[in-house]
Amino acid sequence: MESIAAVFFSFRLRILCFLCFLSAKPGLVLALLEGPHINTLNLLLPPRATRPVRYTLQGSGGCFTWTWDHHDIIHVQPEYNDTKGCSRSAVVTSIAPYEGRRVTAVYAKDKFTGQMIRCEVFVDKLAKIHISHHSLKLDLDGLGTLRVHAFDMEDNMFSSLVGMQFSWKLLPPDANTRTSSHALMHVPLKNTPLSDCGCICGDIETQIELEDQGIGSDLLVVRGTNVGQERVLVNLVEPNLESLGDEIVLTVAEAISIEPPSPLYVLVDTRIQYVLKTLRYKHPAGRVLRILVHTVC
């Protein structure tokens, strides 16, 4: 009986020590429960441009050391996200000039589990660009974001264009008519409510820096100033890539709402007063246009 009790006591002691060890290392507990992950396993970057193009690899569920192949193609800079020297992200920068499509890889090794995650990185030249938008209609006084996406010869989309230089133009549909007025205006990024982490943390700083130098970035914010249409043109401003461009037409319209909103459940012979309002960015409560009275038969 004594030997059984001793074994049981020893087992409980080991369990207690293990629990104490885990409580002192919450990062290890998280890694064991979730496992290490990174936000992408494939990257497509352009070759070295006037300014270096970068992409931030984001990790979770672990503490990573970063290594990579072909130091002449890309550079990887770990970011340390806490005071304990744990890295959960790294900035991948394309540093090689174009010499045909090239392939390399970045490795993220979790310190706790020893698991290795591989991210394949392709470097190729741009074949075409496209203005990405959420809607071709914009409310009067409303804000809209436009972003440039680029593709290679096989229609693969590039992971990042942050740092590349662009030229944006806003033109009325009929630029030859003197009476044509603009329906859009450019809003500097630093004057918008966009967050620093709206896409990848740190990107907005590079884009604001380009705009402050009088150069366009891959991101443009516009505001609707008049009801009508506006042509938006963009061209790449990089050596040997000036021919790449795109164009879209945005429509600006008055935003109108009606109160009370639908659905509305009423009895027969009920008289309902509807209020028609215009909504503006500076006046979210709206401005009354018309009051309508309707009788339900």
Rounded to two decimals, the pTM is 0.78
Nearest 5°: the CA angle 244, 151, 44 is 125
What's the confidence (pLDDT) of residue 198? 44
Asked if 48 contacts 94 with a C-beta cutoff of 8 angstroms, the reply is yes
Beta strands 255-259 and 219-224, pairing class:
unpaired
Would you tell me how many other CB atoms lie within 10 Å of the CB of residue 35? 15
**Predicted pLDDT at 282:** 62
pLDDT in single tens digits along all 297 residues of the chain: 556 655 455 656 565 555 555 555 555 554 445 689 999 999 999 999 899 899 999 999 899 999 999 999 999 999 987 767 789 999 999 999 988 899 999 999 999 899 999 999 999 999 999 999 999 999 988 899 999 999 999 999 999 999 999 999 999 887 665 556 899 999 999 998 886 654 455 688 889 999 999 999 999 999 999 999 999 999 999 998 999 999 999 999 988 877 777 787 878 777 777 777 777 766 655 565 555 555 655
The C-alpha torsion from 208 through 209 and 213 to 219, rounded to 10°, is -40
Question: Between vectors from CA 175 to CA 172 and to CA 180, what angle results, nearest 5°?
Answer: 60
How much is the pLDDT for 286?
Answer: 55
Domains and CATH numbers, the chain: 33-123 (2.60.40.10), 128-253 (2.60.40.10), 256-295 (no CATH)
**pLDDT attached to residue 199:** 46
> Would you state the structure tokens that stand for residue 59, as one six-digit string?
């990790």
DSSP assignments along 229-269, one per residue:
EEEEEEEE-STT-TT-EEEEEEEEE-EEEEESPSP----TT
Burial letters for 209-239: b for 16+ Cβ neighbours within 10 Å, e otherwise? Answer: ebbeeeebbbbbbbbbeeebbbbbebbbebe
